[in-house]
Amino acid sequence: MLQLSEIPEQARLSYLIGEIVMWDVWAENETRVLCAALDRAGVTAGGWQGDYGRMIPQLLTAIDEQDIPEPFRELASSVINAALRAHQKRSKYAHDILIPDHAEPEKVRSLIKRDPPRPLSEFEKTANELRRLTWRLRGLHVIAQSWIGPGLNARTDWQSADDLRSWTRVVMDHIADLPFEIRGTRGKCPEPIGGYQSFGS
């Protein structure tokens, strides 16, 4: 994501709303991949809502009701609840008529609501939250096979045990600040009974 200082002042609001909407769509895609993986594993039975805002609570209920190991359930619930909050924020921004505040160019006001002007930094923060959330959701479906069982998702076939630990740290929102790679920071993380296993071990 570009720094606001790199974007012409008159384009900053449009850029940030675009980032918010784009990353929310990415988060939705990663959530749907997780749902499909859980269906293939026989953990859930499909029938997902088409509307993302309704699907997220449905997924929370499904995770809570199924026989899923507790550490993975806690990880999943944390990320999916974050997805729900972030999507609600996205809806607030995407379904409003927003304009730069002429008195304070670094703030934005609504032509619909009577809320006080909001700083552009609030929009930037939301876009960054959604970007991080996308990677957390991806990490969740990458590690799911190790927690729930074989046949869930073939993408872990090339993941080493260290990769799976790294993705678990990403799920926990401990994401390393690397320019072209998504990895978790070093540290402890929950592992399935017997620990993560490298493919073929």
pLDDT at 151: 47
- By the 8 A CB rule, do 126 and 75 touch? no
pLDDT given at position 158? 65
Q: What is the mean pLDDT of residues 27-48?
A: 88
The predicted structure's pLDDT at residue 157: 57
Task: Please tell me the predicted confidence (pLDDT) of residue 153.
Answer: 45
pLDDT 10s digits, 171-198? 999 999 998 899 999 999 999 988 887 6
Q: State the pLDDT confidence band at 199, using cuts at 50, 70 and 90.
A: low
The amino acid occupying position 194 is G
d(CA 94, CA 127): 12
